[in-house]
Amino acid sequence: MTDQADVACRATSGTQCVAHTRAYRDGELVDEGFDVTLVSDHLDVAGTVVWLDLLTPSQEDLGVLVEEFGLHALAVEDAVSEHQRAKIDSYDDHLFLASYVARMDEGTAELAVHEIAAFITPRALVTIRKSDALDVAPLLERWDAGKKLAGSGVPYLLHGLLDLIVDGHFEAVQVLDEQLDALEDVLFDEEPRSRELQRRSFEVRKSLVLLRRVVLPMREVVNSLLRRDLDVVDEQMQPYYQDVYDHVLRAAEWTESLRDLVSTILETNLTLQGNRLNEVMRSLTSWAAILAVTTAITGFYGQNIPYPGFNQQWGFWTSTILLVGVTGGLYTFFKRRGWL
């Protein structure tokens, strides 16, 4: 069986980059993998909805979009600009969406984000991927799994894209949560590993800050799509978009709680370090007190002047018994107090 993504990649004439194309008519998939130059031919047929995906397109490739769809120049400029904030802009006859795909490395807790832009028109969804971090295969699987909703057209296609992106955010947050659980185990380990704990904590915190910048704006994006004045989501797709919005809220709240947890772990680590230092200082002080007493006794009996028991065997045994008794008594006292 031929992979769907491979089928969609076969025909890429009209653009220099890798392109994927699909056409739906009245809720049925009628064509895929066709030339980008044939997009307008499909759109000439009533009831047809087109998906076009471009991977790392050039300015010339985007010129095809302007010619085929009449997109606004500012929207096309945003599509090629780097480090756009996740947002949705409204133009006369289309919308521009900027969002990010999040990928977390479980081994290093390093987060990688990759920008993806989309043009939303009444009868076409155009996605611009600036890297191959977002594989189209899972996206096609989601669309094929929900064929009964394909009659909604562009809202159906856009929902599959947003759902895939938000699920990626959720997975990244979950990995960060697991990383923090592992940090908690290190935090209360019998063998202090403060340097490792601090390094991993700052790595997780760095990734979490970056993830928040990606996740939080998505609330506004999805909420804007749910607004009826934009006339993007129909009644059939309304519950599905609301479900995506709920997932966005949960991911945003989860990142907020994890941020507090990271701060708590760092503060707890500092507190534990202080407590361990106090215990060491208390132990050293106790031993110093014991040694001070033994030094005083041996120093007294080491004087070269006559004293009771001087040059007598019983004086030696008296000093020895006194030394052992006082040392044992101090040790027992400090041990019961938990200082040793």
* Window from 175-179, 264-268, 311-315 with minimum mean pLDDT: 311-315
Could you give the C-alpha distances from 177 to 85, 109, 181, in angstroms and in order?
25, 10, 6
Backbone angles phi, psi at 271, to 5 degrees: -65, -45
Range 28-52 average pLDDT: 88
* Together in a domain, 31 and 96: yes
Digit-coded pLDDT (tens) for 118-167: 989 889 999 988 887 778 888 899 898 888 888 889 999 999 999 999 99
Digit-coded pLDDT (tens) for 169-209: 989 998 888 888 888 777 777 666 667 777 787 888 888 88
* Together in a domain, 292 and 196: no
Supply the pLDDT for residue 7: 38
Residue 49: count of CB within 10 angstroms of its CB: 26
State which of 249, 272, 295 marks the end of a domain: 272
Range 224-232 average pLDDT: 81
* Together in a domain, 106 and 163: yes
* Together in a domain, 240 and 308: no
Supply the pLDDT for residue 291: 74
Range 9-24 average pLDDT: 67
Signed CA dihedral, 168, 173, 178, 182: sign only: positive
Question: Quick check: 56 pLDDT over 70?
Answer: yes
| CATH number of domain containing 237 | 3.30.460.20
Question: Quick check: 260 pLDDT over 80?
Answer: yes
Digit-coded pLDDT (tens) for 101-112: 998 877 777 888
How many domains would you assign to the chain?
2
> Measured at the alpha carbon of residue 225, what is the angle toward residues 220 and 230, in degrees to the nearest 5?
120
* Together in a domain, 266 and 291: no
For a pLDDT cut of 70, what percent of the chain falls above it? 86
Residue 31: count of CB within 10 angstroms of its CB: 14
* Together in a domain, 9 and 156: yes
| Distance from the Cα of residue 5 to its chain's centroid | 27
Range 329-336 average pLDDT: 76
Task: Look at 292 and 233; give whichever has higher pLDDT.
Answer: 233
CB neighbour list of residue 244: distance below 8 Å, 6 or more residues apart: 159, 162, 163, 166, 222
Confidence of residue 243 (pLDDT cuts 50, 70, 90): very high
* Together in a domain, 231 and 321: no
Question: Quick check: 305 pLDDT over 90?
Answer: no
* Together in a domain, 298 and 246: no
* Together in a domain, 218 and 288: no
Q: Residue 311 gets which letter from DSSP?
A: T
Q: What is the DSSP string of 51-113?
A: EEEEES--HHHHHHHHHHH---HHHHHHHHSSSPPSEEEE-SS-EEEEEEEEEEETTTTEEEE
Q: Which of 162, 169, 100, 92 is nearest to 125 (CA)?
A: 162
Confidence of residue 301 (pLDDT cuts 50, 70, 90): low
Confidence of residue 266 (pLDDT cuts 50, 70, 90): confident
Residue 101: count of CB within 10 angstroms of its CB: 21
Question: Quick check: 18 pLDDT over 80?
Answer: yes
List alpha helices for the chain, DSSP H.
4-9, 39-43, 59-69, 73-80, 136-145, 154-187, 194-226, 238-301, 313-336
Supply the pLDDT for residue 207: 87
CA distance 293 to 286: 11
* Together in a domain, 159 and 221: yes
Range 313-331 average pLDDT: 77
* Together in a domain, 207 and 91: yes
| Burial (CB count within 10 angstroms: exposed 0-12, middle 13-18, buried 19+), residue 281 | exposed
Is the Cβ–Cβ distance between 42 and 80 less than 8 Å? no
Q: Which domain holds residue 319?
A: 279-336
Residue 86: count of CB within 10 angstroms of its CB: 21
* Together in a domain, 233 and 86: yes
Average pLDDT, the chain: 80
Is the Cβ–Cβ distance between 92 and 113 less than 8 Å? no
State which of 272, 288, 305 marks the end of a domain: 272
* Window from 94-108, 164-178, 275-289, 309-323 with minimum mean pLDDT: 309-323
State which of 225, 255, 272 marks the end of a domain: 272
CA distance 296 to 312: 20
Range 311-338 average pLDDT: 75
